[in-house]
Amino acid sequence: MCKAFFISFTVAGLAFGDLPDFNAPHHPTQILVRFQSGTSNQSKQTLHQTLGTGPVLREYSILSDLQLVQVPEGSVEDSVMAYLSDPSVLYAEPDYERSLGSVCNPNDPKFSVQWGIAKVRAPEAWCVNPGNQNFLIAVIDSGIGYHDATTDIDHADLAGNMWRNPGECPGGACVANALDDDGNGYIDDFYGWNFETPQSNIASDDFPHGTEVAGVVGAVANNSLGIAGVNWQCKLVALKFNLNPDFVVSSELEALDYCAQNNIKLSNNS
């Protein structure tokens, strides 16, 4: 059995444990192989010889133990899988082709005026990975969009990327029942929570600041609507706290605590 113990990086764009995509365009006679730290040069050379590959065309200083390896034409998939089966290999993958074509540039009508997106070179990153629907990002701000306890968020460019708490919305259906179904201390927290006083599960936006931030972070992209978020795909969690003069730090701390309780690893706190 092959052991696919490789980790993605900027060229691959693959999540941990994924197998390479051999259908994606790639170089016909080159693959990238990264060895486990501490693997000797002799061991690397022996494996290349055993698998009938080589020569090593380049080694990279940006990542230790990463090599560009020449393989016989037509053998990219077999060679990659053979390397993955060896415990000394951290990961192996085809030498993917990359371009700045339509894959990287969404059709959202306001994308052309998003100067910040170009500034951070997001289009190049989108060629590699446009995001992941399973990745949660909390927006700790003035709320997101306009929604209530019984309806989905109604902002057309955000709705598709809004988090629905699986413990409160089984199968994606959010129905208020006045119960703390997931046992996290918050009742009917479908999309997040409002930490204002009095607290509630309605985290709609009183300004538009939180909604604007949420759009920059994760507006649905390539949908012929509005703008493109830095993450084309993600799950936005609305965590609202006081932004008026009686703001207290404890409400923001509770929002961060909510992230920890719900395994939300990233938050925007602007």
Residues of the chain with pLDDT under 70: 1-18, 99-103, 149-151, 242-247
Q: Which residues contact 79 (CB under 8 A, 6 or more apart)?
A: 31, 51, 53, 69, 71, 72, 92
pLDDT confidence of residue 12: 35
Determine which helix (DSSP H) or strand (DSSP E) holds 76, and give its type and residue range: helix 76-84
Q: Which residues contact 242 (CB under 8 A, 6 or more apart)?
A: 195, 196, 197, 248, 251
Domain map of the chain by residue range? 26-96, 111-268
CATH class of 26-96: alpha beta
| Cα–Cα nearest to 237, from 270, 267, 213 | 267
pLDDT confidence of residue 8: 30
Q: In whole angstroms, how far apart are CA 98 and each of 13, 95, 163, 230?
A: 11, 9, 31, 19
Are 213 and 141 within 8 A, CB to CB?
Answer: yes
pLDDT confidence of residue 10: 31
The CATH code that applies to domain 111-268 is: 3.40.50.200
The residue type at 249: V
pLDDT confidence of residue 250: 86
